[in-house]
């Protein structure tokens, strides 16, 4: 491609996309150095940028004002409903506030991965960072090394200036467990998420507290990894325990696998075993039977995250709203305890 001559207006990202025969989103990903862009696509975009002498407006504004008007987001497992919905809520709220979003996706959640993600976003001059990734206490040590950048976490863990903006997972678990207790169940198992992550621990805590309040024994949680496969594999063990008449699963994907395991074992839902999930994924209403679950308001969560990080950016008083309380959606997978 030959460099084009003078033009009446500066070139836009849409002009680059048109010349490179890609979408504007692909141009944005090339500019943000996304790793999964095909080499030939990247080359076409870079050539178009050179031909048009394109200079991203965002970079120009950053140079002129020392502000990027960009929020960094660290996300993991964004193909799962919960993280994906949270990411959507944050992106939408940021756009409404006039901010762009730069996303770094993690293959795993550990100290090194968080450090590299923070380094990358700080290198892009983001004004603040939202963490949408499972965290344990060790990963929060990373934040202290980047204390010049405001950080808001979607977590129940708080340290220093890193305020969690959270959906109340513990209260959601209480709601789910109380529902099963009120139906007359006395042996209520919990299919939990992975250990050492705050969202898993909070959901275990809420379940245990309700059982303690009602004088019921709390068996050891059976542990999954958020996937339907883990729910199925663990579900085969639960299906073999005839004392268990109800299972509260920490997310809907594991509940889906559990439903299959119970079906294969000849245990009817809800006549023999009631099942309650967490998230209210779009497919929950179409499982067999339709799944009773706990619904989270991810759009409201996104708004709160952006409001909180913008307050920190503006050196305003830190927002400390009450956690968002999920709601129970009762469908056909839960029913009275068998006699």
CATH number for the domain formed by residue range(s) 66-164 = 3.40.50.2300
Averaged pLDDT for residues 72-87: 80
Around Cβ 72, how many Cβ atoms within 10 Å? Answer: 25
CA angle 137, 139, 144 (to 5 degrees): 100
* Range list for CATH 3.40.50.2300 in the chain: 66-164, 169-296
User: Per-residue pLDDT for 225 more than 80?
Assistant: yes
Say what percent of the chain tops pLDDT 70.
Answer: 81
At the top level of CATH, the class of 13-56 is mainly alpha
CA-based nearest residue to 189, from 226, 239, 263, 225 = 239
Q: Where in the chain is the domain with CATH 1.10.260.40?
A: 13-56
Q: Looking at domain 169-296, does it have CATH number 3.40.50.2300?
A: yes
pLDDT digits (tens, 9 = 90+) for 160-200: 444 456 678 899 999 999 999 999 999 999 999 998 777 89
Token digits for 217? 């024994």
In this predicted model, what pLDDT tens digit does every residue of 286-337 receive, in sequence order? 999 999 999 988 888 888 888 888 888 877 766 666 778 899 999 999 999 9
Q: How much is the pTM?
A: 0.72
Which of helix, strand or coil describes residue 304? helix
Cα(109)–Cα(325) distance, integer angstroms: 26
Q: What is the pLDDT of residue 131?
A: 85
**Mean pLDDT over each residue of the chain, to the nearest integer:** 84
Percentage of the chain exceeding pLDDT 90: 43
φ/ψ of residue 133, rounded to 5: -160, 145
In SS3 terms, 239-303 reads as HHCCCCCEEEECCHHHHHHHHHHHHHCCCCCCCCCEEECCECCHHHHHCCCCCEEEECCHHHHHH
Task: Give the residue-averaged pLDDT of 131-135.
Answer: 71
Burial of 282 (0-12, 13-18, 19+ CB in 10 A): exposed
Over residues 48-64, the mean pLDDT reads: 66
What are the distances in angstroms from CA 67 to CA 60, 125, 126, 314? 10, 8, 8, 12
Q: Which of 220, 227, 201, 191 is nearest to 136 (CA)?
A: 201
Strand residue runs (E) in the chain: 70-76, 100-106, 128-132, 151-153, 163-164, 188-192, 222-223, 246-249, 274-276, 293-295, 327-329
Conformation bin of residue 272: beta by default, left when phi > 0, alpha when psi is -120 to 50? alpha
How many other CB atoms sit within 10 Å of the CB of residue 234?
Answer: 24
Say if residues 154 and 187 touch (Cβ distance below 8 Å).
Answer: no
Q: Which of the given ranges, 15-19, 61-65, 101-105, 282-286, has the highest pLDDT on average?
A: 282-286
SS3 151: strand
């Amino acid at each position: 491609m030959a460099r084009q001559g003078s033009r009446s207006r500066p070139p836009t990202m849409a002009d680059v996309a048109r010349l490179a025969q890609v979408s504007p989103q692909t141009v944005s990903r090339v500019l943000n150095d996304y790793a999964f862009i095909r080499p030939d696509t990247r080359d076409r975009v870079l050539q178009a940028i050179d031909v048009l002498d394109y200079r991203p407006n965002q970079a120009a504004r950053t140079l002129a004002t020392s502000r990027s008007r960009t929020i960094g987001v660290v996300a993991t497992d964004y193909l799962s409903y919960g993280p994906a919905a949270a990411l959507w809520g944050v992106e939408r709220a940021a756009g409404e506030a006039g901010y762009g979003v730069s996303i770094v996706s993690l293959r795993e959640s550990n100290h090194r991965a968080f450090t590299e993600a923070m380094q990358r976003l700080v290198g892009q001059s983001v004004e603040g960072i939202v963490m949408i990734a499972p965290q344990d206490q060790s990963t929060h040590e990373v934040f202290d090394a980047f204390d010049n950048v405001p950080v808001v976490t979607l977590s129940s863990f708080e340290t220093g200036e890193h305020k969690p903006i959270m959906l109340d997972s513990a209260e959601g678990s209480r709601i789910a467990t109380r529902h099963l207790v009120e139906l007359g169940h006395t042996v209520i198992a919990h299919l939990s998420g992975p250990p050492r992550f705050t969202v898993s621990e909070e959901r275990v805590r809420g379940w245990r507290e309700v059982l303690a309040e009602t004088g019921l024994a709390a068996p050891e949680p059976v542990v999954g990894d958020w996937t339907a496969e883990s729910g199925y594999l663990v579900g085969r063990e639960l299906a073999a325990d005839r004392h268990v008449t109800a299972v509260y699963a920490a997310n809907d994907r594991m509940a889906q696998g559990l439903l299959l395991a119970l079906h294969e074992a000849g245990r009817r839902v809800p006549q023999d075993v009631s099942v309650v999930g967490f998230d209210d994924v779009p497919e929950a209403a179409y499982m067999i039977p339709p799944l009773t679950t706990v619904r989270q308001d991810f759009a409201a969560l996104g708004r709160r995250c952006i409001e909180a990080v913008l307050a920190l950016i503006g050196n305003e008083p830190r927002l400390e709203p009450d956690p968002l309380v999920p709601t129970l959606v009762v469908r056909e997978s839960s029913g009275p305890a068998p006699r």
